[in-house]
Amino acid sequence: MNGTKAGLKVAVVDTRPKVGGNCTHQGTIPSKALRHAVHQVMQYNRNPMFRYVSEQKWLSYSQVRETAQKVIDKQIAMRARFYARNRVDLFFGTAKFIQPHEVQLDLPDGQSEVLTAKDIVIATGSRPYRPPEIDFSHPRIFDSDTILTLNHTPRNIVIYGAGVIGCEYASIFNGLGAKVDLINPGERLLAFMDDEISDALSYHLRGNGVLIRHNESFVSVEGADDHVVLTLESGKRIKCEAFMWANGRTGNTDQLNLDAVELKANGRGQLEVNERYETGVEHIYAAGDVIGWPSLASAAYDQGRSVSGVISENGTYRKINDIPTGIYTIPEISSVGKTERELTAAKVPYEVGKAYFKDTARAQITGEEAGVLKLLFHRETTELLGIHCFGDQAAEILHIGQAIMSQKGEGNSIRYFLEHTFNYPTMAEAYRVAALNGLNRIF
């Protein structure tokens, strides 16, 4: 859409018969819609006021999938309107390079045609990595795409991989009442996050009955008619009704015939780009999951806008670097800026300010008292260096601090939160509490 607004003639090729891409159909939108439905049921069951109305309620996985589908349908309709309004030409099929400025489009009816363009953007996204020794055709073995086809609520499920996707689905199935084993090949959950926030998630999941096993590697996954058995290198064998693989993703580049334009993807199917999102071929660009980190829908949107700016030569592009992270576990996690570990390694004299949700009036009113807002700031200049939040609406709360952190000079100071009035009661006032807590540590 940004390309058409800049006066470019734009065509979009999508392998699906409906617009939206991985984000809408199999990634961000369905998983977050599932999570929201489960969270609402958990809130209902946790609130003693509702005991006067009825006993606890439980939804099946199929029921929460229906709510997710309604959101997906709305997103498809909205995006289709955007394409139509901006006169973007849509093609549904599979594209591959045949020359530097030409792609062959293979249509569902077996026909093909050639599209020619001055500039080409690769935004094919990614898919779950599938180890060849695991039989993903088995009806009880899933990845993060096929888990959306599960038609019942398993009594127990093993999730292999404790990254963002693994932790989110562990929360979802735990909220549905399933017993969850979360198998982590690493030493800690979400190792890229601030240690304290990662520990808070681990504590919270365990407190709700999720069994977390760290430093485990799989040997085999064997499916039977009514169960799956996971064998680990440590000798452990775990039996479950359903198994979900959530360890790694691969860029969708294997069908693009990159050799025709002398491009090469790395071992994960990803393409390398420069600060202008150009690949090794001058007029071919790439954005989104296909270029790797941070593999977030929010970043992909900004990257796409930047590519449009480069191609249209209007100069409005930027390399997306300091990106907020939103992880939709139950409760949520969100983060931007430096972690304590990074600041300590860099020998930056920082201090910490905290506000615990249980001490804020708004959290007491909503009943969402589990959580903390953590501010990291320079103890001499009071510059805001990092924001880390764990708790309900963390991904929303974070953006208040992000706006201050992006200011230049004295505008980026933790003192902002003391010099301005916040509505009461709100979750936003946690910033004032955290700022006071941190500044009181300075002597």
| Same domain flag for 84 and 155 | no
Residue 177 is assigned to a structural domain of this protein:
yes
pLDDT at 315 (0 to 100):
59
pLDDT tens string 186-205: 999 999 999 999 999 999 99
The annotation places the binding site for FAD at: 32, 124-126, 289
The annotation places the binding site for NAD(+) at: 161-168, 248
pLDDT at 285 (0 to 100):
96
Percent of the chain with pLDDT over 70: 98
Host domain of residue 355:
331-439
| Same domain flag for 152 and 57 | no
The half-sphere exposure of 302 on its side-chain side, counting CA atoms within 13 A, is 13
- Are 16 and 25 contacting, i.e. CB atoms less than 8 angstroms apart? yes
Looking at residue 166, which CATH number applies to its domain? 3.50.50.60
Looking at residue 423, which CATH number applies to its domain? 3.30.390.30
Domain count, the chain: 3
Residue 193 is assigned to a structural domain of this protein:
yes
| Same domain flag for 98 and 23 | yes
Rounded Cα–Cα distance for residues 316 and 24 (Å): 27
Rounded Cα–Cα distance for residues 377 and 439 (Å): 9
pLDDT tens string 133-166: 999 999 999 999 999 999 899 999 999 999 999 9
| Same domain flag for 161 and 213 | yes
| Same domain flag for 150 and 122 | no
Residue 318 is assigned to a structural domain of this protein:
no
Report the pLDDT averaged over residues 37-53: 82
Rounded Cα–Cα distance for residues 155 and 138 (Å): 18
Rounded Cα–Cα distance for residues 1 and 347 (Å): 44
* Consecutive H or E run containing 295: none
Report the pLDDT averaged over residues 265-290: 94
Residue 383 is assigned to a structural domain of this protein:
yes
| Same domain flag for 209 and 236 | yes
Is residue 1 very low, low, confident or very high in pLDDT (cuts 50, 70, 90)?
A: low
Residue 25 is assigned to a structural domain of this protein:
yes
Residue 176 CA: distances (Å) to CA of 36, 136, 172: 12, 24, 6
Is residue 5 over pLDDT 80?
no
Answer with the one of 282, 312, 342 that is the final residue of a domain.
312
The annotation places the binding site at: 32, 124-126, 161-168, 248, 289
Residue 45 is assigned to a structural domain of this protein:
yes
Is residue 263 over pLDDT 70?
yes
